Amino acid sequence: MSFESSNLGLDPGLFFVERCKMFKSAFAIALLFLCSSSYAAEPRQNCPSSGKGGVAELHRDWLLTGWERDDGDPEFNFRNDLGKYYDFTRADLSLFDDFDPELKVRKTADDYGKIWYGLVPKFKSVHHKITEQPSVVAAGPGYSHSVMEFVFEVTPKQGDKMYLISRTSILWRCTPAGWKIYKEHNSARPVEASTYLNAE
């Protein structure tokens, strides 16, 4: 007889049976929750594989439209400028850029945006040229992976122009709103101005 059952004044056999029933009920509820959560979390599988709305086109657009900045552009707004590429409803993302002063992986799109609110307003303009077009590989049902290389020119509001080359790796997830960035990794290093100026 356990200390718990004796203290409750229950028959040990009856106590054991009741505990088993409680465990089975709790297990069934937990299993149902896990299964429904997993099902709800499953990505869709009807996103375009190519062309408009496809991953390659989105990756190019993410760079040349989302991150391109001209002198005199409206104030930077991460959600307005890049919202179409990110899923702001999820807290299980993996977003990293070595421009991040904290050099940490961000789990939400809003947290990722905080990096850029601290940087982009310091730039007068940012211009990009793709040096290696997106290479796309299906990564399983509802996922697609793309890698792209580009050079860019950053003109700060104060100081000299900077020239860098970056490689970006993105895992896209198919959602009801189309492909959204699920995991992202960007790494950049300085290059000579000629690398950017000579790029097509």
- Name, in order, each residue with C-beta under 8 angstroms of 46's C-beta and a sequence gap of 6 or more: 174
Domain span at residue 8 reads: 3-41
Q: Is there a single domain that holds both residue 68 and residue 36?
A: no
Q: Does 49 reside within a domain?
A: no
Q: Is there a single domain that holds both residue 17 and residue 90?
A: no
Closest to 179 (Cα-Cα) out of 144, 131, 149, 134: 144
Q: Is there a single domain that holds both residue 33 and residue 70?
A: no
Residue-wise pLDDT tens digits, 58-102 = 999 999 999 999 999 999 999 999 999 999 999 999 999 999 999
CATH code (residue 92): 3.10.450.50
Residue-wise pLDDT tens digits, 3-27 = 333 333 434 444 333 434 433 443 3
Q: Does 47 reside within a domain?
A: no
Residue-wise pLDDT tens digits, 122-179 = 999 999 999 999 999 988 889 999 999 999 999 999 999 999 999 999 999 999 999 9
Under a CB-based contact definition with an 8 Å cutoff, are residues 18 and 145 in contact? no
Q: Is there a single domain that holds both residue 37 and residue 61?
A: no
Name the band, by pLDDT with cuts 50, 70 and 90, for residue 41. Answer: low
Under a CB-based contact definition with an 8 Å cutoff, are residues 173 and 185 in contact? no
Under a CB-based contact definition with an 8 Å cutoff, are residues 171 and 82 in contact? no
Q: Does 80 reside within a domain?
A: yes
